[in-house]
Amino acid sequence: MSLTETKSTNVLIAEDDDDDFFIFSVAISEISFAVILRRAEDGEILMKMLQEQIPDILFLDMLMPCREGKQCLLDIRSDRRYDSLPIIVYTSLEDLDTIEYCYRQGSNLFTVKPNSIEDLKEALHRILSIDWKKTMYFPPKSEFIIGRRIPKGWLGN
């Protein structure tokens, strides 16, 4: 069953910023996917929520209080319980060091918070169209970044 069929997708977003969460939730409500959206306001809450229930997809901000996103990514990927959890980095950071870290530490995709709700909806549609239950998708570097131009130097250019 793909995520576009009638079964709801359980999405957890780790996002401390109320405005960013509001925009994300509006975009989710306006796309053609059935989504149950939950929020972790910081890295510590995220880790507790993951112990209670593993979502279908995790959107992970890098800049959070209590435990930053990089540490959360490292902790999640070092725990076998979360081997099949797709992690989509959703952040305002777009520097090569952060992108490279996320790629090397096992995030599945990387998206910079878009400038418009339409761009966010397009990115969400692309992400939710992947059949994560069928296959764990680890793209090549050229497909790792969603919704933005590829930064100079990312592909060795």
Which H/E stretch holds residue 12? strand 9-14
pTM of the model: 0.91
Confidence at residue 157, expressed as pLDDT on a 0 to 100 scale: 54
Q: What are the 10-residue block averages of pLDDT along the chain, 157 residues in total?
A: 64 96 96 95 97 97 91 97 96 92 96 92 94 87 82 67
Q: Which two tokens stand for residue 23?
A: 């925009």
Confidence at residue 4, expressed as pLDDT on a 0 to 100 scale: 43
Confidence at residue 154, expressed as pLDDT on a 0 to 100 scale: 67
Task: For the chain, give every domain's residue range.
Answer: 9-146
Q: Which two tokens stand for residue 136?
A: 């764990």
Domain 9-146: CATH superfamily, name plus number: Response regulator (3.40.50.2300)
Confidence at residue 5, expressed as pLDDT on a 0 to 100 scale: 47
CA–CA dist 145, 149 (Å, integer): 8
Confidence at residue 133, expressed as pLDDT on a 0 to 100 scale: 85
Confidence at residue 104, expressed as pLDDT on a 0 to 100 scale: 94
Confidence at residue 127, expressed as pLDDT on a 0 to 100 scale: 95
